[in-house]
Structure 1
């Protein structure tokens, strides 16, 4: 029996956007099983807790209508990425690129990960033309200022964001 090809798509997902979901959906075409790794990443000062972000990704996959949802697992992690990749028995890190400005950082990260473990490959997926401008940071900023963010996130994430903005006052 052939070995299952496992990929890992890491991120903070604060919040998960339709851009992330597009990358997730497309990544399932190149791996047999996809793990969406939700990072603690306290350095970014996330708006939502780790548990909330994991829940939002799971809910959003259902809402987004991802066909391969049965082959996707959502898991939190707070370790070095290459260690988590090995722990999950994955062989590929999936990264999304929105713009040329993303490339330099992602290129350095891929090089560092390869240096730490040369058995793990990094695959870059270009954001689709309908989502290349979407970022979690922009979604939060637009939403806080009263802009319409409903096309950038799923309905459940939209509701959570609006509740969080109301709590912030």
Structure 2
């Protein structure tokens, strides 16, 4: 049986924290599906296609190195529905702090009630990336700060360029 994990988020943009979860999650599954949430009421900085391309570029080698297959998809419904479509046995969630844990525990309970066959696996953030959030990286970029400590180099370039054009 192929173990498939689904890791969802907005990934606007993909950060070093996201890559930390992807790297460690890829060691646990045979196939990793990174699912980009597309919410029609929100205006992301990057389009779904741009985020998909960034994820494939930045995470591809990391996932292959773990001997895992990578698929990047979008979804606009419940994460559990995306997990079912992907054939996922596991939902992977990164935890940075107690606030994340509290929220993720509630989501885990809700998902377990709807789909008891899909398990949630929590991956605590590594110490060096625990402080990173995509929203903060966007704010730093918008204010002209150095985002090189939060996102991969090519993503930093795109983030700075996009932030300048959005101002």
22-31 or 43-52: bigger deviation? 43-52
- The whole-number CA distance in structure 1 between the counterparts of 2:124 and 2:16 is 14
- Name structure 2 gaps, 5 residues minimum: none
Partner of 1:81: 79
Q: Could you tell me how far 1:42 is from its partner in structure 2?
A: 3.5
Residue in structure 2 matching 1:6, options 4, 7, 13:
4
- Name structure 1 gaps, 5 residues minimum: none
SS in 2 for 1:134: coil
Q: Is the 8 A contact 1:59 1:156 kept in 2?
A: no
Count of aligned pairs: 167
- The whole-number CA distance in structure 2 between the counterparts of 1:45 and 1:98 is 25
81-90 or 122-131: bigger deviation? 81-90
Q: Could you tell me how far 1:41 is from its partner in structure 2?
A: 2.6
123-132 or 31-40: bigger deviation? 31-40
Q: With structure 2 as the length reference, what TM-score do the two structures score?
A: 0.93
Q: Could you tell me how far 1:57 is from its partner in structure 2?
A: 0.8
Q: Could you tell me how far 1:68 is from its partner in structure 2?
A: 3.1
Partner of 1:127: 125
153-162 or 130-139: bigger deviation? 153-162
CA RMSD of aligned residues (A): 1.7
Residue in structure 2 matching 1:46, options 44, 51, 55:
44
- The whole-number CA distance in structure 2 between the counterparts of 1:159 and 1:69 is 29
